[in-house]
Amino acid sequence: MQMKSRNSIHEASFRDPSGYMFYDGVVLRRAINPIYFPQYKKLKESGFFKTLIDKGLLISQEETSVSEEKIIITPERIPFITNPYEWSFEQFKHAALHTLKIQKYALSKGFILKDASAYNVTFHKGKPIFIDSLSFDFYEDDTPWRAYKQFITHFLGPLVLAKFHGTEVFKMLQTHIDGIPVKLIASLLPAKTKLSSTLYTNIHLLAKMESKHSEDYKAETKVAKLSKKSQNNILDSLFDYIKNLDLKESSEWGDYYSKTNYEDAAFITKKDFVSSWVNALKPEKLIDVGGNDGTFARTVLDKVAQVIVTDIDSNAVDFNYKQLQKNKETNMLPFVCDVLQPAPGIGFNNTERDSLIDRLATYAPDVTMALALIHHITLSGNVPFEKSAEFFAKFSKYLIIEFPTREDSWVESLLVRKREFINHFDFYNESNFEAGYLDYFELEKKEVITGTKRILYLLKRRDDVG
Amino acid sequence: MISLYFDPGLGAMIVQAVVAAAAGVLLFSKGVMYKVKSFFGLTKEQDDTYDSIDIEEQDTDANEEQK
């Protein structure tokens, strides 16, 4: 497991001298250094932490031990961390609003968020939650918000760019771990954004001021001032602006399941197989890869403690997120994932943010579902069966996988697109599929979905694999 | 001075005065527009599921008193 380094300090927490996260066995704890004791004590004793925790805004934490050298706290465990480049538009928006809300509350209590990194927020129990309890510091009268620029590069910039260019923009955060540079954001925005007072001041003017003062070596002697009222105006105005942000091509989720190539009866048959197989396995953790808006995962949602649904389509993830909020589902976690290009490990040493495969292997779902996915991996991605089997075997104990045969209309259309190379894909058939997958898995169950050209498999990872 | 690990950038600190001024004007005019619109019954409900920026504190205080 790469999440643990030799000294078991969590790889994502070295930047802040106030403290660090570490593994005590399998439990993740937070150590606070003496430099941060005054802040921590005030945050705790004033009831600030308690209010945020009671409101479900900050992850709950227990004080484990106190000494002169260190205070150790143990935060509630978050089973699976999603990163900003894996969020849908609505999720990204809510993480931004969440950060502003916490900063405004902090300011009213004499504190500030000293950093506004998007990595301080993740999704837990169906809601955004702030996870870095050392991000707070004392407010000094009339000082501007020092995390302001970080908020723009981590939140406002990516959101506004997504509005104009689509949510693919969020993937830029994989190459810019501390946010998209302001200058780059400004240059990518259409000229008309200069007419918006919010975008002009927060992005274009900021970019100008940045380059004007970037080589100002006497910076420390100059002090900028800002009243608390003014800072609240910035926060309120950003909150309003972001809350009303929509994607320009606000494509309503195109109801994928009305475009399926099979009858309602077959749809129900497939659902019945999936739910009876899943229920028999009694899983604690399930992941549906390429699970769309969560339709199939929802058939077992009341029987499984934790359900993760990924999809390549940010709109489908968005639709799932809206649904889970509406239904108040606390055990559903959707995020965006392209199986052909899963999120890599990024940051210093490539370990600050773990790769998707590492996170999934650590999470170790009991059941993985891959329905109506293999033909895309194999025929659109040109991934041989044994390679995709290897991928699933890295993190799945049981795998429920649907194989659409060559006669399936979608497979046919994918094959037709190969044109003169169509013969190169003759390997796409049932027996080669089984040969590839049975290298890594044992066959438990196999059923043809009546009324379709598809076969559903229940596979179990071989003991000598993984 | 409290030492902080994140460099806020002088430009970003200075610009906030202008940002705040613009935000103030915008918030004020939005407030006026809201009053005008609600007078004519033109206000619409937001469909975003995230609530407001402000934290209601009454209930936690009440909880503390009960304990």
Pair (A235, A260) in one structural domain? no
Within 8 A of B50 by CB-CB distance, chain A residues are: 93-94, 97-98, 243
Pair (A135, A60) in one structural domain? no
Q: For residue A104, what are its two tokens? A: 């405004």
Q: Is residue A465 predicted with pLDDT exceeding 70?
A: yes
Percent of chain A with pLDDT over 70: 94
Average pLDDT, chain A: 92
Q: Is residue A457 predicted with pLDDT exceeding 60?
A: yes
pTM above 0.90, yes or no: yes
Confidence of residue B4 (pLDDT cuts 50, 70, 90): very low
Confidence of residue A4 (pLDDT cuts 50, 70, 90): very low
Interface of A with B in 20-39 (CB under 8 A): 35
Buried b (16+ CB within 10 A) or exposed e, B3-27: eeebebbbbbbbbbbebbebbbebb
Confidence of residue B50 (pLDDT cuts 50, 70, 90): confident
Pair (A94, A233) in one structural domain? yes
Q: Do B53 and A239 touch (CB under 8 A)?
A: yes
pLDDT value of residue A250: 53
Q: Please give the residue range of the domain that contains residue A43.
A: 19-75
Q: Tens of pLDDT along A294-347?
A: 999 999 999 999 999 999 999 999 999 999 999 999 999 999 999 999 999 999
Pair (A429, A298) in one structural domain? yes
Task: Name the closest residue on chain A to residue B58, using Cα atoms.
Answer: A51
Query: Among A231, A194, A201, which residue's Cα sits nearest to residue B22?
Result: A201
Pair (A262, A302) in one structural domain? yes
* Residue A257 touches chain B, beta carbons under 8 Å: no
pLDDT value of residue B61: 46
Number of domains, chain A: 3
Domain assignment of residue A449, yes or no: yes
Buried b (16+ CB within 10 A) or exposed e, A268-305: ebbeebbeebbeebebebbbbbbbbbbbbbbbbbeebe
Q: Which of A145, A202, A243 has the CB atom closest to B50's CB atom?
A: A243
**CATH classification at residue A380:** 3.40.50.150
Q: Do A57 and B30 touch (CB under 8 A)?
A: no
Domain edge (last residue) among A243, A271, A287? A243
Percent of chain B with pLDDT over 90: 21
Domain edge (last residue) among A180, A210, A243? A243
Confidence of residue B5 (pLDDT cuts 50, 70, 90): very low
Q: For residue A451, what are its two tokens? A: 């009324």
Pair (A183, A118) in one structural domain? yes
Domain assignment of residue A117, yes or no: yes
Within 8 A of B43 by CB-CB distance, chain A residues are: none
Across the range A91-116, mean pLDDT stands at 97
* Residue A147 touches chain B, beta carbons under 8 Å: yes
Domain assignment of residue A250, yes or no: no
The answer to whether ipTM exceeds 0.90 is: no
The enclosing H or E element of A309 equals: strand A306-311
Residue B27 and residue B29: Cα distance in Å, rounded? 6
* Residue A239 touches chain B, beta carbons under 8 Å: yes
Domain assignment of residue A251, yes or no: no
> Which residues from B are below 8 Å from A when comparing CB atoms?
2-6, 8-27, 30, 46, 48-50, 52-55, 57, 60, 63-64
Pair (A107, A197) in one structural domain? yes
Domain assignment of residue A11, yes or no: no
Residue B27 and residue B42: Cα distance in Å, rounded? 18
Q: A103, A117, A183, A210: which to substitute to probe chain B, counting the most B Cβ within 10 Å? A: A210
Q: For residue A36, what are its two tokens? A: 């941060």
Domain edge (last residue) among A210, A243, A276? A243
Q: For residue A439, what are its two tokens? A: 């290298």
Pair (A217, A334) in one structural domain? no
Q: For residue A136, what are its two tokens? A: 């707070």
Across the range A58-67, mean pLDDT stands at 96
pLDDT value of residue B62: 43
Buried b (16+ CB within 10 A) or exposed e, A125-139: bbbbbbbbbbbbbeb
Domain assignment of residue A6, yes or no: no
* Residue A91 touches chain B, beta carbons under 8 Å: no
